[in-house]
Amino acid sequence: MFRAASNWQKSFMRIRYYHPEDDPALMELERLSPRGLPEPFVHYRRRFIDRAAIFADHQILVADNDGAVVGCVAVCVKRSQVGGRPVSLGYVFDVRTHPEVRRLGIGTALVAAVDQYLIGRNVDGVYGHIEASNLASLRLFAKMGYERVRQLLMLFYQPYPCIEFPEIMPRTSDDFMAEHDLIEAVHSTRDLYVPDVAERVKNFGFSRWGIDLGSSRFAGVSLFDQSYVFQQWPAHLPFPSEEEMRRRGLKSLRLFDEAGSHNPALLKMIFDTIRDLAVTENVGKLTLLVDRMDPVPSFLYAEAYKQMEYWMVFKSLNPDWIPEWQDAPIYTDSREL
């Protein structure tokens, strides 16, 4: 498919589409690419493609050097909007390069192959997220023409028992269409909005929590269990068996599509209820991804035990389009990061 010169062993590397037989090599590559603080971890998943598959339109590209898998990258295509204009955008993630062949141009070749793949599909632009401290990746993407356009924060929370019962008990539903109109009203005008997140994660322990007292007195938040897709495992331990993962079974709840930031007291009732239930539901952590520009209630920052900062980097692939980003928070897709 794609072909790129590699300095490794003076041979030629080709970048091709993923096929299921690549999974053992890709899982090995995953184990060789630990990340995270304070403890390095790897993602445990049954198939490497599982994370990409939560996006409807996805592809994985593999760097193959004489039959050896030395790198990979995942990409999905979304129909979204920027500055009120409908656009087709690529999202690039899970870039991996074998430690023994790093700094030989493989990462650059993978990103270039993603660009080539997306241009072939007439996609308008492409973006990704890079941890702020990952200077090597920031330099790589900058060299490829990507610009930093937004800062995002991943907020981490622990399960915590309620000291006092909430005055109002939030209602909950496992219907992915629950409060869909409310979510559309709050988020649909934002850059990068997509309407199908809840639908794509509906089978992953999805639930919608809300309080509605009429008029503008409302609040709500959705969640899904990321451990259905992958679980984090300490990098220094052997990769777990299926039995070990079932025994450990820690859930990782991702919160998203929050509504009611203008009613912080109501939103906190929901937040406290979810954290209280998490104590007895074998939950390891809860996370929320927010745009730094998003005026979310201050308690969401105050109660986080950790936060990680990311740059969103973007590149236009359409020579006739210059994106006009709104001076407002973007929509953060909870399937990313």
Of 135, 151, 167, the last residue of a domain is 151
Q: How many domains, the chain?
A: 2
pLDDT band at 5 (very low <50, low <70, confident <90, very high): very low
**Amino acid (1-letter code) at residue 28:** E
Question: Which residue has 């820690």 as its token pair?
Answer: 250
- Model confidence at 23: pLDDT above 90: yes
pLDDT per residue as tens digits for the range 167-209: 899 999 999 999 999 999 999 999 999 999 999 999 999 999 9
Q: Are residues 76 and 203 in the same domain?
A: no
Q: Are residues 204 and 137 in the same domain?
A: no
Distance CA 7, CA 194 (A): 40
- Is 336 part of any domain? no
pLDDT band at 247 (very low <50, low <70, confident <90, very high): confident
- Is 328 part of any domain? no
Q: Are residues 6 and 50 in the same domain?
A: yes
* Residue 161 CA neighbour count, 13 Å, CB half: 2
Q: Are residues 11 and 117 in the same domain?
A: yes
The backbone torsions φ and ψ at residue 136, rounded to the nearest 5 degrees and listed phi first, read -60, -45
What residues contact residue 166 under an 8 Å CB cut-off, 6+ apart? 269, 272, 273
Distance CA 155, CA 301 (A): 7
Distance CA 110, CA 63 (A): 7
Instruction: Give the pLDDT mean for 29-34.
Output: 87
Instruction: Give the pLDDT mean for 98-110.
Output: 91
In percent, the amount of the chain with pLDDT more than 70 equals: 96
- Is 207 part of any domain? yes
- Is 44 part of any domain? yes
Distance CA 132, CA 182 (A): 33
Q: Are residues 134 and 165 in the same domain?
A: no
User: Domain of 229?
Assistant: 154-310
3-class DSSP assignment, residue 209: strand
Q: Are residues 100 and 160 in the same domain?
A: no
**175: number of Cβ within 10 Å:** 12
pLDDT per residue as tens digits for the range 258-309: 999 999 999 999 999 999 999 999 999 999 999 999 999 999 999 999 999 9
∠ CA 194-195-199, rounded to 5° = 120
Q: Are residues 267 and 218 in the same domain?
A: yes
Q: Are residues 239 and 146 in the same domain?
A: no
Q: Are residues 134 and 206 in the same domain?
A: no
Q: What is the pTM of this model?
A: 0.92
- Treating both helix axes as pointing N-terminal to C-terminal, what angle do 106-120 and 135-143 enclose, rounded to 10 degrees? 50
Q: What CATH number should be reported for the domain holding residue 90?
A: 3.40.630.30
- Model confidence at 248: pLDDT above 80: no
pLDDT band at 239 (very low <50, low <70, confident <90, very high): confident
